[in-house]
Amino acid sequence: MKKNVTFILFTCLTMFSIGTFAQQDEASYQTTMKDLMVKMDIAESVQSNLKVANDFNRVADIAVTQWHPFYYAAFCNVLAAFDIEDIAKVDPLCDKAAELLEKAEKLSPKNSEIYCVKAMIALARIKVNVFQRGMEGLSDAQANLETAQELNPDNPRVYFLLGQQSYNTPEAFGGSKKDALNLFEKAQSLFEKQGDKKGTLEVAWGLKSTLRKIEACKKYLQAKATVNK
């Protein structure tokens, strides 16, 4: 309940900010974006992610030379695509995310963060039909993550997403909780190396999820070791 109240409060404040920053200076843009990033961080439902995506999109329509609003709008749309129950809505959300990323990439070419979200879109599309899309989706995601890694070998989200793939893929098809743990721990190390990016527009998502996955991997491997004794 507390998070819902907080989310509503930030919604009211940022609605006002979006409507006024276009006539103000860079500081107003920064303030609006940072408020939206706080909303993004506390969004936990499909509807709240879509609301934040729409707010970022409105900023992007005004701040047309900035790549961050397009990027974050795409990111929130793909998060909604992962969580939404209505399968018929997955592709439209992914299409929207891809369209926004294309605009972000024109403003910020060869950006590792953009390729990470491209990989997420490929993975989200698998949800529509696992048997028909599974292999192609995994291949597309892998290709995008390889590009992201080449562009920035120190991007922790690359290793988090690679870990997710290994974690979620059955062992019979090449998945491995042990390999996933190594990738998640690599991501954690890079997150810690980069330090706190709070209060900036820099991409910083993933640490909390990484830490949760590390614990999940450890519990799984400990349980498996106990059974095999």
pTM: 0.88
**Which amino acid is present at 38?**
V
d(C-alpha 74, C-alpha 5), whole Å: 25
Q: What is the pLDDT of residue 5?
A: 44
Q: What is the pLDDT of residue 17?
A: 55
Which tokens hold the place of 91?
Answer: 């592709």
pLDDT digits (tens), the chain, 229 positions: 444 544 444 454 555 555 555 555 788 999 999 999 999 999 999 999 999 999 999 999 999 999 999 999 999 999 999 999 999 999 999 999 999 999 999 999 999 999 999 999 999 999 999 999 999 999 999 999 999 999 999 999 999 999 999 999 888 888 999 999 999 999 999 999 998 888 899 999 999 999 999 999 999 999 988 887 6
Instruction: Compute the chain's Rg from CA coordinates.
Output: 18
Q: DSSP assignment, residue 89?
A: G
Q: In the chain, where are the structural domains located? A: 1-109
Q: DSSP assignment, residue 172?
A: G
Alpha helices in the chain (DSSP H): 2-21, 26-42, 46-62, 67-83, 90-107, 112-126, 130-151, 156-168, 177-194, 207-227
